[in-house]
Structure 1
């Protein structure tokens, strides 16, 4: 059976791109002398996206189960969602336009992996747009009172939950694959030698 590398179905990067990960598995990353400030910051950003995404999913679930009233939920949720979406879009733009070209120059054999990651960014960007639209509908329906059908808020909540769940599932896969491609390269060459 042929392995697919679509974001929804892949279980990792293509094996022919993982030669450096075999040399530098995740267990050695934290203590490695070549894990510099840029790589540490980048990994922290990835962890922030994972943690904030999970926190927003938890908050949504608590609200939809009636554990958190609408006003406190909105005050907590809306600014965090805005921050998450804005920061993620900026993060991907910086990677596409600055870091990925630098990494490809450092190791051209990894170019297909960076093309795959750039394609992920396009898919995730479309997900971001879908999440924004679904969130706006969801929050508008939640505050609509008697002017909307009784099930409209639930349906809008379901649509938002589906859209945000899809985004986060894809993002988690993408972040792991990106790390598996980039961190071993940094450990192998060092940040200064790569040019970051």
Structure 2
């Protein structure tokens, strides 16, 4: 198992293979919503993921506007800090619920799912580390605001690197998770994991 996880570390992969996402061909994403087993839980899952993508994109836009000088320091701090905190809480809460409640239920449905959900849990650890790095760099940006342009530029450059890494990891993870979770719900029904 460890070798499988090493081969498919989140930062290195471009997707998960069909041997792990073994239901993906049976249930391709364009047909998910049309399936009779697509219900409220699958819809909610996809909406949560869409929300995380949107929140991450908003943070990147706010940061870019600040770095380009189209957003002043006061407005940046007033808009960025609460959005970043909300994003952090949303993402961490989502992953905790998955690890504690949903992933064990998916594993119990079919032993073939074990590797996929081990992979997703490993992703959560990597994303958590990237999130902590982005949080530390975000704090440094806010702390640099009173010290002037050079300090702010350096701190915001470092934050941009760390948050871009976080968002790239998150985007890959969310897509891969959907390739496992939604087809499993369609195959086994939402009641089996709800």
Scaled by the length of structure 1, the TM-score of the pair is 0.92
Which of 92, 95, 118 lines up with 1:92 in the alignment? 95
Cα separation, 2, equivalents of 1:143 and 1:61? 19
- How far the C-alpha of 1:56 sits from its partner, in A, is 1.0
State the match for 2:24 in structure 1. Answer: 21
Cα separation, 2, equivalents of 1:43 and 1:76? 26
- How far the C-alpha of 1:74 sits from its partner, in A, is 1.3
CA contact (8 A) 2:18 2:24 kept: no
- How far the C-alpha of 1:77 sits from its partner, in A, is 1.1
State the match for 1:113 in structure 2. Answer: 116
CA contact (8 A) 2:21 2:116 kept: no
Q: Does the alignment pair 1:78 with 2:81? A: yes
Cα separation, 2, equivalents of 1:77 and 1:89? 18
Q: Does the alignment pair 1:38 with 2:36? A: no
Gaps of 5+ in 2: 1-5
State the match for 1:54 in structure 2. Answer: 57
CA contact (8 A) 1:5 1:14 kept: no
State the match for 1:152 in structure 2. Answer: 151
**Between Structure 1 and Structure 2, how many residues are aligned?**
189
Gaps of 5+ in 1: none
